[in-house]
Amino acid sequence: MLNKAYGFDSHAHPTAAKPPVVVDVAEDNGIGHTEEDEALNAEEDLDAEEDLDMEEDMDMEEDLDEEDDLDEEEDLDEEEDLEDERRDPTLEEVDHHRVTGLRGFFSKPGSTGNSLICFRPGGDSEQEWVAAQIQTVMKGSDASRTRFIVKRFLPLFGPPLAQDYKRFWIQYFESKLVSTSLSDLSESVHESWIVSHIAQWQMTPAVAVVLRLPQEHMQSAQRDLNAQEREISQLCDLLTVVSNRREREESTLKALERDWIHLIFRKDSLMVEHERLLAARRELIAESNAPDAQTNTRLIDLVTSVEHALEVSRQQTDTNNAASASV
């Protein structure tokens, strides 16, 4: 191709290269290139450019093939690692949904949430985090051996959207536009690789925004939540004390009402007894005019006993009146 384009042998030794052909042009008599010569030269230039383009395309295809081969090898290696972990007797797949980790709670996909995370591949702090969803949790005897089998959210292809969410990063709102679809490839992630949970907002059936939830903000929110829970617990305890006190007061009030009713009945009973004794006294006084001395002595004794009974009755009445007034 180089021979055709530039007129030299690319395989020959540099020192033995043939000198270029020089065409003398007689300017005096007006002899120069003809239109046919120019057309031939143009065709040769086009052929040379086409050959170069073909070579570049072939090189690019070879590079792409090599990259595809490397990606396939990496995928195979990751699949083999996953199979090894699944067969590892020290790792056990967790059946329940929520698992407590160093950076919060994690779970499988479901109604409980906490399955959306972002992590740095290989735990490399220099790499940007990627969004993924937990598919399976493999828990080891020791917390540091816990593994999460995840699938990444696919990147977006095609023209970029009008709004670039990268500008929110300077405000500590790390967000990305991703596809709503997950990769077919599963990979194992160490818990130490996980940066935090993410929130997802589906803009269209194919496009979603994922937002990293900063760990320090989550911890601050958790502290506020704990403080609110403590305050609510204290209020509940206070309400319990007030309720118990009210029940005791209601019970005491009912007892006082019963005592009051009993005193009223007792007062009425004493008044009836008092009237009966007064009537008996009047009868005895009337009988005291009899001439019989023995009868007089008996009447005097009766009057004395009646007066004593009346005094006792009066004292009980005064006591009951005082108790009623205090209630």
Per-residue model confidence (pLDDT) at position 26:
42
Position 92 scores a pLDDT of 65
- Give the per-residue pLDDT at 220: 62
What angle is formed at CA 33 by the lines to CA 31 and CA 37, rounded to 5 degrees? 145
The alpha helices in the chain, defined as continuous H runs, are 2-6, 35-87, 215-287, 293-326
Is residue 66 domain-shared with residue 105, that is, in the same domain? no
181 plus 128 within the same structural domain: yes
DSSP H/E element including 88: none
- Please check whether residues 95 and 79 belong to one and the same domain: no
CATH at 131: 2.30.30
Other Cβ atoms less than 10 A from the Cβ of 222: the count is 11
Q: How far is CA 142 from the centre of its chain?
A: 24
What's the pLDDT tens digit per position in 144-182? 678 888 999 998 876 655 456 667 776 667 888 899 999
100 and 116 both lie in a single domain: yes
C-alpha 63/C-alpha 50 separation (Å) is 20
Domain end among 167, 182, 213? 213
Q: Does residue 148 form part of some domain?
A: yes
User: Following CA atoms 189, 194, 196, 199 in sequence, which dihedral angle do they give, to the nearest 10 degrees?
Assistant: -30
Low-confidence ranges of the chain (pLDDT < 70): 1-45, 47, 51, 57, 59, 61-113, 141-144, 158-166, 170-172, 215-222, 284-299, 317, 320-327
| Judgement on whether residues 80 and 93 belong to the same structural domain of the protein | no
Is the whole-model pTM more than 0.75?
A: no
Nearest to 189 by CA among 101, 140, 119, 104: 119
Among candidates 142, 141, 130, 110, which has minimal Cα distance to 189?
A: 130
Of 162, 186, 213, the one marking the end of a domain is 213
Instruction: Note the residue count of the chain.
Output: 327
> What Rg value do the Cα atoms of the chain yield, rounded?
54
The predicted structure's pLDDT at residue 4: 45
pLDDT of residue 38: 67
Do residues 62 and 117 share a domain? no
Single out the residue in 181, 213, 245 at which a domain terminates. Answer: 213
Secondary structure (3-state) at 161: coil
Give the pLDDT confidence score for residue 129 in this predicted structure.
92
Q: Considering the domain boundaries, does residue 52 fall inside one?
A: yes
- Do 80 and 97 reside in the same domain of the chain? no
* Full residue range of the structural domain in which residue 82 is found: 1-11+36-87
Residue pLDDT, tens place only, 81-125 = 666 665 565 566 665 555 665 556 666 666 556 789 999 999 998
One domain for residues 59 and 105: no
pLDDT attached to residue 213 = 83
